[in-house]
Amino acid sequence: MAAADLRAELDSLVLQLLWDLEELESKRAALNARVEEGWLSLSKARYAMGAKSVGPLQYASCMEPQVCVCTNEAQNGLQKFRVVRSGSQIPEEVGPCEAALRRRKGLTRIPEPEPFSASPNPLNWFGILVPHSLRQAQASFQEGLQLAVDMASLQIQINWGQSQLRGLQEKLKQLGLGAA
């Protein structure tokens, strides 16, 4: 009976793995398409701005990431990635900070809260007015990043599934040897 339960568990695990692999391949095809679109747009931008105008020479000497990933742990202990974008603004508070009479003379300046330091747009490295193709390239690669993050989560899931599969296969072998 234990062997039958193990086989059922093995079957559902294999099905889940195959589904994950199919999902991974479909996301990979989409990522490859986005990246190819991005390269084409970069080439168009180079055509418009000059061959050496879009490349490492234009990279900023100081960069802050606009996109990061956070890991969430699921119930089974699996890590899952989630995209986090910077530049989210804190709503500005309008109105007096303190309930106090304002003085006309010698008004004490209330220090303004520091603005949230949003990372500058990498498009700015290439100039003030950039061609539309460069914006399109940025959009394609941003979509590609979301797909890459999803693929990374799927890869972790597939690796976990493979280790579970090996464990179950081992248990089944031992049961088979024990019965013999």
Partner 1 sequence: MAGRGKLIAVIGDEDTVTGFLLGGIGELNKNRHPNFLVVEKDTTVNEIEDTFRQFLNRDDIGIILINQYIAEMVRHALDAHQRSIPAVLEIPSKEHPYDAAKDSILRRAKGMFTAEDLR
Question: For binding to partner 1 (CB under 8 A), which residues are involved?
Answer: 17, 21, 24-25, 28, 31-32, 35-36, 38-39, 42, 54-56, 59-71, 79, 81, 84-86, 119, 122-123, 134, 137-138, 140-142, 144-145, 148-149, 151-153, 155-156, 158-160, 162, 165, 169
Of 152, 155, 163, nearest in space to 20 by CA? 155
Closer residue to partner 1, CB minimum distance, 26 or 110: 26
Closer residue to partner 1, CB minimum distance, 107 or 135: 135
Closer residue to partner 1, CB minimum distance, 64 or 110: 64
Shortest distance, CB of residue 125 to partner 1, whole angstroms?
Answer: 9
Of 40, 47, 66, 37, nearest in space to 125 by CA? 66
Closer residue to partner 1, CB minimum distance, 6 or 142: 142
Shortest distance, CB of residue 79 to partner 1, whole angstroms?
Answer: 6
* Residue 56 exposure: Cα atoms within 13 Å on the Cβ side: 0
* Length of the chain counted residue by residue: 180
Shortest distance, CB of residue 96 to partner 1, whole angstroms?
Answer: 30
Q: What is the DSSP string of 140-167?
A: HHHHHHHHHHHHHHHHHHHHHHHHHHHH
Q: How far apart are CA 140 and CA 42, in angstroms?
A: 10
Shortest distance, CB of residue 99 to partner 1, whole angstroms?
Answer: 33
Q: How far apart are CA 141 and CA 139, in angstroms?
A: 6
